[in-house]
């Protein structure tokens, strides 16, 4: 069944822009990205949108649809009423390059700041033995497709550019938690999380978890346990004493 949908799409670059209205054909089974492609093909050939897999796996097509972060390729048109105006805007937390394409390099800078997996020196590759429960724990975090919708929606940086240098966002705090929980990682992730990547800014609003297309329980399984690990260290009298002695 075919019908005409009303779309409002953000157009602009260089810090300026406006919403533009379109009426566009929709066919059964289509997703929002199909409609954006139809707009490119029929009415707005220079409309910029980033996408790659069209299968919910590359994380490229993140936009905001009616104000909510969504993957354009996984948002079925059937979730909207036929007479509903569908507004598509770029992710708000990152600077717009053009139209729906944002500059997400903030996220790559944060990723680079996290020291990689650091195994003990005396354990050789091939000698690692992990319990199934440890494998499963990190498996959940490794489902991340780096769509950056969690970082986009977190209020700590969404309207506060000034917090960006001090806050890695849920995606990378989750990465730090993943490494801290790894039985063979010996790097100090707790001070890193708290002092350099702003774990303390997170007040557990869970907006990140709500938008994750991979349904990763970012807050419950990564951020809250990481906060507990930081607190355990801080209030463990032996650890406290050790930190005083070795800091001298
Ligand atoms: Fe996207 Fe989820 Fe990964 Fe965040 S944790 S970047 S929302 S897949
Ligand atoms: Fe932000 Fe998620 Fe914490 S949205 S405040 S990182 S629970
Ligand atoms: Fe790859 Fe949408 S195009 S996740």
Tell me which residue of 148, 198, 207 sits closest to 168, measured CA to CA: 198
Residue 247 above 60 pLDDT? no
For atom 3 of ligand 1, the residue with the nearest CA is 144
Pairing of strands 3-13, 85-89: parallel
Q: Which of the ligands is closest to the CA of residue 60?
A: 3
Pocket test residue of 202, 209, 221 for ligand 2, highest count of atoms within 8 A of CB: 202
* Better-scored residue on pLDDT, 231 or 89: 89
* Better-scored residue on pLDDT, 42 or 242: 42
Contact in structure between 19 and 55 (CB atoms under 8 Å) = no
Q: How far is the CA of 190 from the centre of ligand 2 (A)?
A: 17
Phi and psi at residue 56, to the nearest 5°: 70, 25
- Give Cα 233 to chain centroid, integer Å: 28
pLDDT number for residue 154: 98
Q: Is the CB of 57 under 6 A from ligand 3?
A: yes
- Dump pLDDT digits (tens) for 207-224: 999 999 999 999 999 999
Q: Is the CB of 154 under 6 A from ligand 1?
A: no
Q: How far is the CA of 152 from the centre of ligand 2 (A)?
A: 10
How far apart are the C-alpha atoms of 62 and 104, rounded to whole Å?
11
- Dump pLDDT digits (tens) for 61-119: 999 999 999 999 999 999 999 999 999 999 999 999 999 999 999 999 999 999 999 99
């Amino acid at each position: 069944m075919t019908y005409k949908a009303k779309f409002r799409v953000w157009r602009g670059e260089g810090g300026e822009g406006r919403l533009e209205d379109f009426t566009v054909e929709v066919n059964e089974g289509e997703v929002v990205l199909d409609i954006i492609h139809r707009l490119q093909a029929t009415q707005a050939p220079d409309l910029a949108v980033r996408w790659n897999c069209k299968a919910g796996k590359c994380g490229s097509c993140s936009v905001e649809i009616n104000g909510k972060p969504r993957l354009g390729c996984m948002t079925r048109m059937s979730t909207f009423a036929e007479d509903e105006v569908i507004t598509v805007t770029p992710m708000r937390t990152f600077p717009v390059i053009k139209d729906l394409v944002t500059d997400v390099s903030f996220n790559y800078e944060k990723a680079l700041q996290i020291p990689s997996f650091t195994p003990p020196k005396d354990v050789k590759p091939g000698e690692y033995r992990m319990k199934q429960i440890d494998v499963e724990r990190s498996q959940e975090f490794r489902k991340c497709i780096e769509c950056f919708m969690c970082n986009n929606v977190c209020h700590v940086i969404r309207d506060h550019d000034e917090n960006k240098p001090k806050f890695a966002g849920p995606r990378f705090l989750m990465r730090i938690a993943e490494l801290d929980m790894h039985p063979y990682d010996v790097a100090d992730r707790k001070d890193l999380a708290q002092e350099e990547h702003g774990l303390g800014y997170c007040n557990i609003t869970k907006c990140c978890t709500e938008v994750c297309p991979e349904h990763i329980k970012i807050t419950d399984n990564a951020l809250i346990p990481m906060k507990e690990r930081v607190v355990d260290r801080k209030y463990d009298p032996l650890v406290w004493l050790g930190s005083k002695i070795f800091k001298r």
